[in-house]
Amino acid sequence: MTHADQLNALPDATPDGPLDALWAAIRRRVPQVSADRVHQLLPGLQLPDVPEAFIRASYNNGEPRRVVWDDQTAAFAWNSGPDADAVIGTLDDVDRVADTIGRALGANL
């Protein structure tokens, strides 16, 4: 196998695509917000009512909130907190989504 073949055989660098893009936008646009990419990878051991992959975001000592990518609506949505299930925005507008998350958590932009 050539080196090029080995590189092509590697998994995608962004296995969660939209969530990785949102994580990067949060780090870039609102670095004061703590944002973690969370993946529950063990089938059958997932926590109930918790998605398989999500962004956990918080600011200062505030309650962390989950943001998910909804394939059906092709949009980011809150998965916890007072706005649970509310659509935040699309991948095309990921910077605005990051700003919206920061403001909702109380960060100064």
C-alpha distances out from residue 65 to 4, 7, 35, 40, 69, Å: 41, 36, 10, 16, 14
Number of domains in the chain: 1
Residue 29 near residue 98, CB atoms below 8 Å: yes
Residue 16 lies in a domain: no
Write the pLDDT tens digit of every residue in 8-59. 443 344 455 899 999 999 999 999 999 999 887 666 666 667 788 999 999 9
Average pLDDT, rounded, for the chain: 85
Q: Which domain holds residue 103?
A: 33-42+49-109
Q: What is the pTM of this model?
A: 0.79
Residue 27 lies in a domain: no
Residue 14 lies in a domain: no
